[in-house]
Amino acid sequence: MMKFKPNQTRTYDGEGFKRRAACLCFKNEKEDEVLLVSSSRHPDQWIVPGGGMEPEEEPCGAAVREVYEEAGVKGKLGRLLGVFEHNQDRKHRTYVYILIVTETLEDWEDSVNIGRKRKWFKVDEAIRVLQSHKPVHAEYLRRLTNTCNPTCSPACSPTNGNTPGSPVTDNNAPHYVCSTQGSDLVNR
């Protein structure tokens, strides 16, 4: 199912969840410093870069496209951390990947168009910064310690944002369901 909005087509899965993708962008394989971007709605708050999937777009391609647009970075896409559902305000189902940053642009789409900023945070600090206004984003970072290493899950390396036949599906990673409180996740 699709819903059209100016400048954007929202896509939904069969259960009515908005299809989203995001990346936890790290400086290196240690995964100890994560890149956050300023919120477009609240420029004084930080968020994990991500957004809605386009029609026919694979989750991994959407994740790479979103971090390029919102954070101005490119990198090596790693494992699928999990699929997170958020039901508090809206029904969102977000595929969250790990990305190791290899290139940082000086000027990027959202910095030019809306003045978006980016900043590196230690993981613990990022969790604190996100907890008050984006608890689900903080939960992505908490789940890092409960996942496998980067070599045990298939990764996809999109070149154009679409990867037909990509092996990444709901069954390839932990699937977490976020409670209506916004922070309690359970395995599904």
Would you state the pLDDT for residue 69?
96
Choose, from 56, 66, 69, 109, the residue flagged as catalytic. 69
Q: What percent of the chain is modeled with pLDDT above 70?
A: 71
CATH fit for domain 18-148, picks 3.40.109.10, 1.10.8.50, 3.90.79.10, 3.40.50.300: 3.90.79.10
pLDDT digits (tens, 9 = 90+) for 150-185: 433 333 333 333 333 333 333 334 433 332 223 333
pLDDT tens per residue across span 19-68: 999 999 999 999 999 999 999 999 999 999 999 999 989 999 999 999 99
Q: Is beta strand 92-104 parallel, antiparallel or unpaired with respect to 18-26?
A: parallel
How much is the pTM? 0.76
Whether 69 sits among the annotated catalytic residues: the reply is: yes
